Amino acid sequence: MATAARPQTAGGAVPRHVAIIMDGNGRWAKKRLLPRAAGHKAGVEAVRRVTRAARAMGIEALTLYAFSSENWRRPAEEVSDLMGLLKFFIRNDLAELIRENVRLRVLGDYARFSADVVALIDDALARTAGNTGPILAIALNYGAQAELVRAAQTLAAQAQAGELDPAAIDVGSIERELETRELPPLDLMIRTSGEHRLSNFLLWQAAYAELLFVDTLWPDFGADDLAAAIEAFGQRQRRYGGL
C-alpha cells in the first residue's frame, strides 16, 4: 500500500510534531493595564486558534506547555485562575476535540491538582482515547528534568530486579520511558514572547528539534503566526550531525 504524502508548504514538509512554550500572557495584560488573569484568558483563546490551525495544516501532534512544575511558585490566586481556565477549556472544547477525532494526551503529574480538575482531565482522556486523528498533548505540572529522573529510576529498578542488562540501555530504552513515547519525534519547538530558553520543557525530545523564538506574545499568536513558523521550518536544513 502506498504511503500517504506528507503535507507540504512552500518551504517544504510540514513538521509532524510541534511543541509550543506559550509565554507572554502576563506582559500582554500589563501592556493593556489589565490583570494577569485577563492575559491568561486571552491565552486560552490563542490555544483554541492554534489547535484548530494545526489540525488544518496537517500537524500530527501539537504539544503545549500549559503549566510547569515550577509554576506552583506563582501566587495562589494566579494558580487558581489558571486551574479555572483549564476547566473552562476542557468543558467548552472537549466536544469539538471528540468531533474532530483528536487524541488528547497529558504530560506531567496532574494528580497534584484538585480532585475536580483531575476528574475532568481523566474524563477527557477517556473520552478521546479511542480517537485516531491528530494528538493534542497538554503539559501540566510537567518538568523535563523530573521526567528524565523518573525514566532513569524505572530503568534502574528493572536492572536491579534482573529484568534489564544495564549494558543494553540505549536511547530507545530511555525514550520508551518518557511521557512522549506515543508521540512522533519532536520536529519544531516554538517559544513566544521573545525569551530564548527552553524552561525545562522537552529537553531530551528537543535534542534535534528546530528551535524558533518569536517576539509575539502568546495571546496575539494565531494561525498566520503558526503558518509563518511552519514556513521557516521548511527552510531549515536538518543534518542530524551529518553534512
Q: Which of 58, 13, 1 is nearest to 210 (CA)?
A: 13
Q: How far apart are CA 207 and CA 19, in angstroms?
A: 13
What is the set of active-site residues? 23, 71
What's residue 97's pLDDT? Answer: 96
Collect all residues with Cβ–Cβ distance below 8 Å to 98 and sequence separation of at least 6: 127, 128, 131
Collect all residues with Cβ–Cβ distance below 8 Å to 165 and sequence separation of at least 6: 159
Is 222 marked within a binding site? no
pLDDT tens column, 147-158? 999 999 999 999
Is the confidence at residue 10, as pLDDT, over 70? no
Is 74 marked within a binding site? yes
DSSP assignment of 104-169:
EEEES-GGGS-HHHHHHHHHHHHHHTT--S-EEEEEEEE-HHHHHHHHHHHHHHHHHTTSS-GGG-
| pLDDT band with cut points at 50, 70 and 90 for residue 222 | very high
| pLDDT band with cut points at 50, 70 and 90 for residue 13 | confident
Is 242 marked within a binding site? no
| Percent above pLDDT 90 for the chain | 91
What's residue 238's pLDDT? Answer: 76
Is 173 marked within a binding site? no
pLDDT tens column, 93-111? 999 999 999 999 999 999 9
- pTM confidence score: 0.92
- What integer is the mean pLDDT of 160-188? 97
What's residue 1's pLDDT? Answer: 38
- What integer is the mean pLDDT of 76-82? 93
Is the confidence at residue 2, as pLDDT, over 60? no
- In order of their start, the domains of the chain are 17-234 (3.40.1180.10)
Is 36 marked within a binding site? yes
Q: What is the pLDDT of the chain when averaged over all its residues? A: 93
